[in-house]
Amino acid sequence: MSGSVHASAPAGRWVTEVIPSSFERVDTTDDSAAEWMSRRYRRAERAFVRLNMVTTLTGSSTGADGSSTSISSRVDRMILGAIRREADVVVVGAETVRAEGSVLPKTARLAIVTATGDLGDGSLRRRDGREAPPALLLCRPEHADRVTAAVGDAPAEVVAVPSSGAPGEDATRLHPVDVVRALQARGLRRIVCEGGAGLATQFVASGMVDEVCVTVSPFLEPVHHPFLSLAASVPSEVAGMLVDDAGFSYRRLTIRR
């Protein structure tokens, strides 16, 4: 999830497409920029799983403030909007909600993976005050009562997700296979995972992710929370890459099956 800009970062204005090597440019202050960006992140499939994350050059998923907000950029947030517009549901971990807060997406549902229902000061309401479908709180069946009690009257629906016994399943947390199946059963087939780093690693390692969208910010930060902590290689190829004039790059990686 993305937010305000690193204190030392200039605001990128021009974005150039370098893969494919069209070298088309767009002025992000122009009214046409949102559609230009959306075309590059549009997917034809009716069902997919995407990961959308931001990382520093050193591989940290967070900045000095302990969140991704300080390593983001204005262009990153434009891309976030384009990706969310293509999604039925945005999946995040409760730890990310506690660290960064949460504002419901404008078009997609919000699903939060949690074992306790503790969302800290995270908001489950729309920033503009408009009505929105309740957030989905995904948890193991044995945690459902605890999660329900914790959220109280917040606009949320607790979803008990049964285990399918997927390989490598951790008894203490939901497996991405089960998360995806539960969402698809509700007709939410275009899924975007926005982390944090632990949830992102689980999704990629499980083989459920079709595409990784990653913003690389030009900062050298200590790595307290690695962007991905993989135990094995995941074959991928670059499907697209944009760069801006502030030194940020924006890649789309297709996972090879």
Same fold across 9-87+205-257 and 89-188: yes
Query: Considering only the top CATH level, what class is 9-87+205-257?
Result: alpha beta
How does pLDDT run along the chain (257 residues), one tens digit per residue?
A: 444 445 545 567 999 999 999 999 999 999 999 999 999 999 999 999 999 999 999 999 999 888 888 899 999 999 999 999 999 999 999 998 888 877 788 889 999 999 999 988 766 766 666 777 889 999 999 999 999 999 888 889 999 999 888 776 776 789 999 999 999 999 999 999 999 999 999 999 999 999 999 999 999 999 988 999 999 999 999 999 999 999 999 999 999 98
pTM of the model: 0.92
User: Which is it for the CA torsion 212, 205, 210, 94, positive or negative?
Assistant: negative
Q: CATH assignment of 89-188?
A: 3.40.430.10
Cβ atoms 61, 198 nearer than 8 A: no
User: What are the boundaries of each domain within the chain?
Assistant: 9-87+205-257, 89-188
